[in-house]
Amino acid sequence: MRIGITCQSSTGGSGILATELGMALGKRGHEVHFVTTETPVRLTRFQENVYNHSVDMITYPLFRLPPYSLALASRISEVAEEFNIQVWHAHYAIPNAVAAQLGRDMLPKEKRFSLVTTLHGTDITLVGSHPSFYRATRYGMESSDAVTSVSNWLSEETEREFHLTRPVRTIYNFVDSERFKPRPANRAALAKDDEKIVMHISNFRPVKRVTDVVRAFRKMLEQVNARLIMLGDGPERIGAMGVARQLGITERITCLGNVENVEALLPAADLIFQPSEHESFGLVPLEAMACEVPVLVTASGGITEVVEQGVTGYLCEVGDIDAMARCGVEILSNPDRAREMGRHGREHAIRRFSPELIVSEYEALYEGLLTSREHQPDRS
């Protein structure tokens, strides 16, 4: 198949999943074309069958803001026509699905692709539900040939919020267990020999509740000698470090910024801590589980479909700093228990979230759409 993909180029879960999916499809012999503003963070090396096309933007005094969505739609249309794209997969409802729909409408009827939209969370729960974007978001989904989401929770939220005329199909994210696996890690570069490593990875948006990470970590320090390693960057990082200064623990925190080879650092952690307001899926905890690292998360959203309470990690209520600290201490102070959780986590990740399972679901979805399309040759 010839497949187009549009996604965010940032370090967020939607861009990572879209990139990993495209690379996996390329390895299976499909021809995959990305259209993005920048090269996706995990698409930095050449891979056979995978291509990236950038969206060219212009500045012009007439426009207060560059019309990115129109430029994206034009580029999608150009790439689709040039390479005879059969299926376009838009990750994020707006602007990507709407731009893909507009790009499809620019094409001659015989060149029009089938459109799949995958929802990742904030495109529905935050941006899409805002009155400014509600109609456009719903239009993007209704105009798609298939709509998927990354968890049952998000599928249900979408159907409840937008009253779609078609069901939303859940296809989970996946993890490459050969890339994310237990391996020797240079702990000495991250912490002292006697320090446990608590790690947080995010884009530091408000929904990630990064100050909760700092406050709970401060309580963990009362019983465990540890260091907090923070990966990523974003608007809440400065505030989180401000809280750390107030609590007098800045010397126990290391901020590494955005790191490309996260798989090299994850195995060094004794605990992955993600106390988000909600997660539509929870890709970071899944990658940690594949590395046999226990996870501490909040019991909100689709993350409850990923982490098994008391088996692969702990789920606490949002904002319950005391409970988070207790669970963190239990994992950090009990190596045997932590190893058991880690082992169960990897087994769970491989059993339920392997590329073999999930990529095959997407392939079957694409093939079904193309088969259906063959019986509707005059569809506009």
Supply the pLDDT for residue 46.
80
Radius of gyration of the chain (CA): 21
Supply the pLDDT for residue 40.
73
Residue 318 and residue 275 in contact, taking contact as beta carbons nearer than 8 Å: yes
Q: Which residues pair with 2 in a beta bridge?
A: 31
Supply the pLDDT for residue 380.
47
The span from the CA of 72 to the CA of 99, in Å, is 6
pLDDT along the chain (380 residues), means of 10: 88 78 95 88 81 82 74 95 97 90 95 95 66 88 95 93 92 95 92 96 93 98 98 94 97 93 94 94 96 97 96 97 98 97 98 96 97 69
The span from the CA of 174 to the CA of 3, in Å, is 19
- Ramachandran region, residue 256 (left: φ > 0; alpha: ψ -120 to 50; beta: rest): alpha
Supply the pLDDT for residue 130.
65
Domains annotated for the chain, with CATH where assigned, are: 2-174+355-374 (3.40.50.2000), 187-352 (3.40.50.2000)
| Residue 192: burial class (beta carbons within 10 Å; 0-12, 13-18, 19+) | exposed
What is the biggest distance separating any 2 CA atoms in the chain, rounded to whole angstroms? 69
Supply the pLDDT for residue 186.
87
3-state helix, strand, coil in the chain (%, to 5): 45, 15, 40
Supply the pLDDT for residue 252.
97
Supply the pLDDT for residue 356.
95
Supply the pLDDT for residue 24.
94
Report the predicted TM-score, pTM, of the whole model to 2 decimal places. Answer: 0.89
